[in-house]
Structure 1
Amino acid sequence: MIKFENVSKVYPNGTKGLTNINLTIEQGEFVAIIGTSGAGKSTLIRCVNGLNNITQGNLLVNDTDVAKLKGKELRQFRRHVGMIFQSYNLVPRATVLKNVMFARVPDMNLFKVIFGLFSKEDKLAALDSLNKVGILDKAFIRADQLSGGQQQRVSLARALTQDTDILLADEPVSALDPVTAKEVMDDFKRINEDLNKTILLNIHHVELALEYASRIVAIKKGEIVYDGPSQNVTKEILDEVYRKEA
């Protein structure tokens, strides 16, 4: 479970990222965060795994107080929260399989990391994750030889290999063409339903958010202006979320 209690985030330059956020996400939910650029979508996502520190309030992830985590404790916590980035964050010259196995690096000693001595268990887990996202046949191809959609699937497989119950995604399909974006969203939906993974993603494609997510959280100027089922989102709500202030 992810629970925001009166959470605010103010950046060092004084910019308000989030203001008084109260939000609870139960295990197994598929939640999409929508809003204009700069509304606070990425800020909210990145608070969950401590990439952004909150300024005030409480943020609990499976009963762990994220704001209190520092150093080694924070790094250990992040192993249990998968993160998928817009830019894929892959090692281009490494194979797809190695990129996925890198999810296990934090649990390995330095010698094994330097020489890439992954265990049989690591390899099997990585291959299983690649199979779940439909690119098992690409396991021994270099990551930089894949299309954008395939690279994002590698990123998703890497997150699955962390064996976490929570997957965060920061604009995972914004760099993809419409057809490929739907294919990647299909992967998210299948993982959510088949594996009961909590999916929390921010997305600027409103139509994809409404089609795939069961719950929509709309943010405007760092505040939640709608939180409810995707089927209850109306044109009036969207007009309010995306209306430019005079």
Structure 2
Amino acid sequence: MIRFQNVGKIYPNGVEALKDVTLDIQQGEFVAIIGLSGAGKSTLIRLINKMHDITSGTLIVNDTNVDDTLRGRELRKFRRGIGMIFQSFNLILRTTVLKNVLAARVAEMGTLRTFVGAYTKEDKINALSALEQLGILEKAYNRADQLSGGQMQRVALARTIAQNPKIILADEPVASLDPITANQVMADFKKVNTELNITVIANMHHVDMALKYADRVIGINNGEIVYDGPSSKVTNDLLKMVYGRELTDDDILTDEMIMDQ
């Protein structure tokens, strides 16, 4: 479980990114975070794996207090249970898809084994299984730079699955993809969430995809949570509270999309 209790975040430049955030996220939930750029979406998920430190309040993740005392070996151990997916995929383009997925095991290996790439048979089976789950096994021995954007994001997700996380954090995971590919990738996130009971927390630019794939939506405006509830209960009036304006075509939202949920 993830628990925010009166959490605030102020950056060194004085920007108050989050204000008195209190919420619980249960294991196995699929949560979409929506809001304008700069509202605090990325800050919220990056606090969960301690990419950023909280300024005030308490943050508990999987029974661990994520505070200033969490460092070194304990921090590395803590982060093994949390996968992170970025918009930019973060793959090593000049090596194979399989080796990219195997990189998830580096944290479990000693320095010498990592240097020579001495992965175990179990590591390789685990990596190939992750690729198979996402329907991209046939690309295992292709170089990553030969893949499409959607395939790259699937490889990034497979690498995260191979890490055996309890939580996956996704920072705008489909923002750079075309709508058809973005829907395919989001369906993969939903499959991982449902079949493996992995908590998925994703920042979403497009509201329609947040409503379609997430069970729960958290809306942030100027560092404050203004909506937290089922995606099925989201209305245009609630979205105006989140965005502070009428949504545009770029947000890809229609009344029909809301009614279909």
For the aligned pair, the TM-score class normalised by the smaller chain equals over 0.9
Please name the residue that 1:53 is paired with: 53
Distance in 2 between the 1:61 and 1:94 partners?
A: 34
1:65 maps onto 2:65 in alignment: yes
Distance in 1 between the 2:201 and 2:194 partners?
A: 14
CA drift at 1:103: 0.4
Structure 2, unmatched stretches of 5+, are: 246-261
Identical amino acids, percent of aligned pairs: 59
Distance in 1 between the 2:41 and 2:9 partners?
A: 12
Superposed, 1:1-246 pairs within 5 Å as 1-67=1-67, 68-243=69-244
Tell me the secondary structure at the aligned position of residue 193 of structure 2.
Answer: helix
Distance in 2 between the 1:190 and 1:103 partners?
A: 20
Distance in 2 between the 1:7 and 1:236 partners?
A: 27
Distance in 2 between the 1:114 and 1:62 partners?
A: 31
Distance in 1 between the 2:113 and 2:82 partners?
A: 23
CA drift at 1:114: 1.0
Distance in 2 between the 1:224 and 1:207 partners?
A: 19
Moved over 4 A (4+): none
Q: Deviations over 1:198-243 (max 9, x none)?
A: 1111111100000000000000001100000001001001112112
Distance in 1 between the 2:41 and 2:110 partners?
A: 36
The residue type equivalent to 1:115 in the other structure is: V
The residue type equivalent to 1:195 in the other structure is: L
Structure 1, unmatched stretches of 5+, are: none
Q: How many residues align?
A: 244
